[in-house]
Amino acid sequence: MSGFIIQRLLQAIVVMAVMSVIVFAGIYSIGNPLEILIPPEATQDVRERTIARFGLDRPVVEQYFYYIRNLLQGDLGRSYIYNEPVLQLISGRLPATIELVLVSVLGALFIGVPLGMLAGYRPDALSSRIIMAVSILGFSVPTFWVGLILILTFAVELGWLPSGGRGDTAELLGTAWSFLTLNGWSHLALPAINLALFKLAIMIRLARAGTREVMLGDTVKFARAAGLSEWTIMSRHVLKLISIPIVTVFGLELGSTLAFAVVTETIFSWPGVGKLIIDSIKNLDRPVMMAYLMLTAGLFVTINLIVDLVYALLDPRLRKGGAA
Amino acid sequence: MSTPILEVSDLKTHFFTRAGVVKAVDGVSFSVGAGEIVGLVGESGSGKSVTGFSLMGLVDPPGRIVSGSVKLDGEELIGLSWDQLRALRGARIAMVFQDPMATLNPVLTIGTQMRLAISAHDKTSRRAADARAAEVLTRVGIPEAQSRLGSYPHEFSGGMRQRVAIAIALLHGSQVLVADEPTTALDVSIQAQILTEMRDLAAETGTALVWISHDLATVSTLASRLLVMYAGRIVEQGPVASVLRDPRHPYTAGLLRSLPATAEPGQDLFQIPGTTPSLLDPPPGCPFRPRCAHASDMCAADPPLETSGERGVRCFHPLRETVNA
């Protein structure tokens, strides 16, 4: 097992190194921030001093190595626009995004999997057809539209829930969280539902497909022949058998949602990192873009690593094979 | 034969498919005494597995038991609710299947699977359940059973896996064990071991065994009585030795002639011409008629089961002479 972990960690380092080159080259090529940083009326002298201060007069390879050296020392640079350390900028926004994403992805998991199993258990029942209809809706309706409809219905027409912002927050571990207050939950509800709908649909589909397949197999038949109740069969045998694809997709969805919750954050004015990255792209704020993309890559690598470890926990057959 | 523990009469299990009604089991009757081993043989598609599942009340839709009676120790099982049947399954009537790789859950330890099977009928402490699981595993021939409870199915060999499955089926000392080709997926040498152990277990515990197989040779070493199934019906029945020595139904005779042991070395094996008929809306009359050398116009009607003593045959032209040694 430890050999397996070391191997995966080495892979992760290689992936991050390659990512850093690609991201740096990509950002370097999309535009020169000088046009935005330096006012057109600046003198040649000011121009040159600014360029030198940001190290933009050096060859691109040298700039890259400076960046990596600083990165390894924990320095992600300063934002050109906000003139704040990038790390501080992002970590100030990240909790909001993490909170929104966790609530929606976990919600989708804990609601979607039981619904999907129910639909797979009795595929012909009316309840199963309704569940599948909802999941098709979740797949096919665009997120931004659902967001607008949610605001129109629950915030504008009914006035039950606020349309944007984080609401009251409470401190935990030195950070402000909305989920600790009732008012915070009321602000969290609509964006979380909006973000969760697509994931809910995926979870329902996965759980249903897995359940249908497992239900036809001999494992379930043998468990029934041993007199196990249907509830025990579903909760102990079937759930564990269908969990591997669900964990995979859960991990991927968690990563991609953290990175790309942009649309929902924009619609509900949720002050997360999505809004920050959109602004930084508009302003060619290289350090912010760079740091954001590196963090995203790191996030995916970490989540995949965790998912692989969870596989080994879920499926004993992988424990030996994975270490070799 | 001792008092019957399992009595099946005129059991009919049909599958209602879009194409029509498939009469997989169409009027099967037999009984099994306590501790007796009965072999149910037939080709693939003869309805022998469906018969087994019908006894358990585990026929999958679109299949349904249409009529008939299954009595376990005098208690009628047909018509019981799912929950009533669940209380019996594993406790008084149990079943093992062909492929232990498919029946055991690959992601749960065998200890967990056995505990689940125990707690399905008895509320015991974890410690007591483990002790009982280990005891039954030892009885089916698994060494160091206590320490193997934490192992997963893939850590066992094929024969050991099937022993685990058999142990799960025997946890509650069932009166009847339905074994659906439990040795087919195993090596010949392992097969023989398990057959011997099963025979000893049946004798020891008084568990009646319904041994379903397509392999006449295996069944004949184990069972005391033979039921030959063809197209959803029992076409011949009787004590093993007597049926093997003196088959009356042309189908049984054909099966016996096609055994490799009866062939001359270097010669082709005998084959019964044709294939098993579709059970989808079968025409009336003897279903073996198209493949039978002895068929006559009479066979267009349904032959009744003619019994004499312990023997029974469903044929208008039963064979009289000894076909095979």
- Contact (CB<8Å) B152/A317: yes
Distance from CA of B185 to the nearest CA of A (A): 14
Q: Is the pLDDT of residue A31 over 80?
A: no
Using a CB-CB distance cutoff of 8 angstroms, which residues of chain B are in contact with residue A241?
A: 105-107
Integer CA distances (angstroms), A292 to A77, A275, A280, B293, in order: 12, 12, 10, 82
- Contact (CB<8Å) B116/A219: no
Residue B12 touches chain A, beta carbons under 8 Å: no
Q: Is the pLDDT of residue A324 over 70?
A: no
Q: Which of A213, A198, A309, A215 is nearest to A264 (CA)?
A: A198
Taking CA–CA distances from B86, the nearest residue in chain A reads A227
Per-domain boundaries in chain B = 4-223
Taking CA–CA distances from B84, the nearest residue in chain A reads A227
Average pLDDT along chain A: 83
8 Å CB contact between A112 and A210: no
- Contact (CB<8Å) B102/A218: yes
Whole-number pLDDT of residue B267: 75
The string of pLDDT tens digits covering residues A48-80 is: 887 777 777 778 888 888 888 888 887 778 787
- Contact (CB<8Å) B97/A315: no
Residues 46-65 (B) with a CB less than 8 A from some CB of A:
56, 58, 60
Res. B323 pLDDT band, cuts 50 70 90:
very low
Q: Give me the architecture of the B4-223 domain, per CATH.
A: 3-Layer(aba) Sandwich (3.40)
Q: Is the pLDDT of residue A317 over 80?
A: no
The residue-averaged pLDDT of A128-140 equals 88
**B89: nearest CB among A225, A240, A316:** A225
Distance from CA of A223 to the nearest CA of B (A): 8
Strand partners, B280: B22
DSSP letters for B199-244:
HHHHHHH--EEEEEES-HHHHHHH-SEEEEEETTEEEEEEEHHHHH
Show Cβ contacts of residue B91 under 8 Å, excluding neighbours closer than 6 positions. Answer: A227, B120, B121, B172, B174
What radius of gyration, in Å, describes the C-alpha atoms of chain A? Answer: 24
DSSP assignment, residue B269?
A: P
Q: Is the pLDDT of residue A11 over 90?
A: no
Using a CB-CB distance cutoff of 8 angstroms, which residues of chain A are in contact with residue B165?
A: 222
Q: Is the pLDDT of residue B310 over 60?
A: yes
Q: Is the pLDDT of residue A41 over 50?
A: yes
- Contact (CB<8Å) B154/A241: no
Q: Is the pLDDT of residue A97 over 90?
A: no
Residue B142 touches chain A, beta carbons under 8 Å: no
- Contact (CB<8Å) B152/A314: no
- Contact (CB<8Å) B107/A241: yes
Q: Which CATH number fits domain A89-274: 1.20.140.10, 3.30.1370.160, 3.30.930.10, 1.10.3720.10?
A: 1.10.3720.10
Residue B176 touches chain A, beta carbons under 8 Å: no
The string of pLDDT tens digits covering residues A223-267 is: 999 889 999 999 999 999 998 888 888 888 888 888 778 888 888
**B91: nearest CB among A217, A227, A316:** A227
**A218: nearest CB among B99, B107, B117:** B99
Using a CB-CB distance cutoff of 8 angstroms, which residues of chain B are in contact with residue A312?
A: none
Distance from CA of B225 to the nearest CA of A (A): 25
The string of pLDDT tens digits covering residues B247-276 is: 888 888 888 888 777 667 777 777 787 777
The residue-averaged pLDDT of A183-191 equals 83
Residue B89 touches chain A, beta carbons under 8 Å: yes
Whole-number pLDDT of residue B291: 84
- Contact (CB<8Å) A217/B56: no
Q: What percent of chain A has pLDDT over 90?
A: 15
Determine how β-strand B4-17 pairs with β-strand B63-72: antiparallel
Residue B171 touches chain A, beta carbons under 8 Å: yes
The residue-averaged pLDDT of A298-316 equals 82
Q: Is the pLDDT of residue A117 over 70?
A: yes
Residue A198 phi, psi (nearest 5):
-65, -45
Q: Is the pLDDT of residue A156 over 70?
A: yes
Whole-number pLDDT of residue A323: 38
CB atoms within 10 A of CB A26: 12
8 Å CB contact between B225 and B304: no
Q: Is the pLDDT of residue A320 over 70?
A: no
Res. B110 pLDDT band, cuts 50 70 90:
very high
- Contact (CB<8Å) B105/A219: yes
Lowest mean pLDDT among A85-94, A172-181, B102-111: A172-181
Q: Is the pLDDT of residue B53 over 80?
A: yes
8 Å CB contact between B115 and B126: yes
Lowest mean pLDDT among A115-119, A313-317, B103-107, B172-176: A313-317
Whole-number pLDDT of residue B1: 47
**A228: nearest CB among B97, B109, B116:** B116
Q: Rounded to whole angstroms, how far apart are CA atoms A54 and A287?
A: 11
Residue B246 touches chain A, beta carbons under 8 Å: no
Most A-contacting residue of B54, B96, B107, B178 (CB-CB within 10 A), to test interface: B107
Lowest mean pLDDT among A36-40, A301-305, A317-321, B11-15: A317-321
3-state secondary structure chain A: CHHHHHHHHHHHHHHHHHHHHHHHHHHHHHCCCHHHHCCCCCCHHHHHHHHHHCCCCCCHHHHHHHHHHHHHCCCCCECCCCCCEHHHHHHHHHHHHHHHHHHHHHHHHHHHHHHHHHHHHCCCCHHHHHHHHHHHHHHHCCHHHHHHHHHHHHHHHCCCCCCCCCCCCEEECCEEECCCCHHHHHHHHHHHHHHHHHHHHHHHHHHHHHHHHHHHCHHHHHHHHCCCCHHHHHHHHHHHHHHHHHHHHHHHHHHHHHHCCHHHHHHCCCCCHHHHHHHHHHCCCHHHHHHHHHHHHHHHHHHHHHHHHHHHHHCHHHHHHHHC
- Contact (CB<8Å) B87/A227: yes
